[in-house]
Amino acid sequence: MKVASLTALLCALPFASHATWFAETPLQRSYQSLLDEQPQLAWQELQIALNHETLDSQLWLPVKQEILTRTQCGRTLKQSHVTAHHIQVSFIKRYGLSSQGYQIKISAEPRSSDLNEQAHPVTLIAPDGLSIIEGQLDSGVDYQEIETNEMFIKPESGVYQLTVGVNSYPIVVAIDDSKRWLTLENKLENAHVVVTPPEVIDNCPSTHVSWQWFDENYNMLGFKVPIKAKQVAVPAQSPTGEKAKHLSASVEMFEYQGAIEVQYVQRVAVPF
């Protein structure tokens, strides 16, 4: 069920039928809260359901999307604590001859230039209860990243627990890589990239599609260069000069869960 069909169903139901329309399933309370125009409560009920039941993400993803649509892509979802940093959690799928797999990354920037607090420990707990990221946010640093090693098994969909200092932020994540957003074609001659971006949730930002150049140690060089066509030739030169040794194309999709930004990325390595 897509977002549009779920929205139509919720709008079409007469108010008197709300209490009895849905069967007693783990998602019943989330549907009920949406019908009652309480997306914040629906969000809480969704988390409770996923913490107590193992559900296929295809069953609950339409509920999550509807909640995000009604809360300005999740920006108005309330959290018990406001983060001192702008935090982004990225779930990355890589395609390429030398690098195929997944990676999860936490990046952070201070919300205020005069932030002068001690370092905060950071952890990310997967739905199965295993800690997959452990690190710390250091004080006085403009931008910092903490990431996993390359993972060869797709990360679970469900509720992740992000902890910064003593505060915890649940993140509801659905990872679906059944459709490729980027494909490299004609690998030997006239190589080009075909872009098939995912459908964006209503009220969420448009996807970002771009080239990224890296040095021999895979440190990013310069800025991302936007890709503006659905099919584009692989560039023969880098705007960063001879230091560039690797090239990739990426599609990034964004959503928000309160103050936490969640990013889904598909990236393909391109011969350069």
For the segment 47-80, what is each residue's pLDDT rounded down to a tens digit? 999 999 999 999 999 999 999 999 999 999 998 7
| Predicted confidence (pLDDT) per residue in 122-133, tens digit | 999 999 999 999
137 and 178, same domain (yes or no): yes
| Predicted confidence (pLDDT) per residue in 3-50, tens digit | 445 655 555 444 444 445 556 788 999 999 999 999 999 999 999 999
Domain stop point among 12, 36, 70: 70
Residue 219 φ then ψ, to 5° = -85, 135
Contact 126, 109 (CB under 8 A): no
112 and 194, same domain (yes or no): yes
Cα distances (Å, whole numbers) of residue 221 to 20, 147, 212, 243, 248? 57, 19, 8, 8, 12
Give me the domain span that covers residue 203. Answer: 74-272
**Which amino acid, 39?**
P
Helix-then-strand count for the chain, H and E? 5, 14
> Of the given ranges (134-148, 163-177, 178-192, 245-259), which has the lowest mean pLDDT?
178-192
Long-range pairs for 117-120: beta carbons < 8 A, 24 or more residues apart: 117/84, 120/84, 120/164, 120/165
Domain stop point among 46, 70, 94: 70
105 and 28, same domain (yes or no): no
137 and 172, same domain (yes or no): yes
> And the tokens for 72?
């300005």
What residues contact residue 36 under an 8 Å CB cut-off, 6+ apart? Answer: 18
108 and 60, same domain (yes or no): no
223 and 150, same domain (yes or no): yes
Select the more confidently predicted residue: 247 or 239.
Answer: 247
153 and 250, same domain (yes or no): yes
Contact 156, 128 (CB under 8 A): yes
58 and 122, same domain (yes or no): no
63 and 83, same domain (yes or no): no
Residue 96, pLDDT above cutoff 50: yes
Looking at residue 2, what is its pLDDT?
A: 44
Looking at residue 120, what is its pLDDT?
A: 84
Domain stop point among 44, 70, 96: 70
Looking at residue 13, what is its pLDDT?
A: 46
| Predicted confidence (pLDDT) per residue in 174-189, tens digit | 998 889 999 988 766 7
88 and 66, same domain (yes or no): no
Domain count, the chain: 2
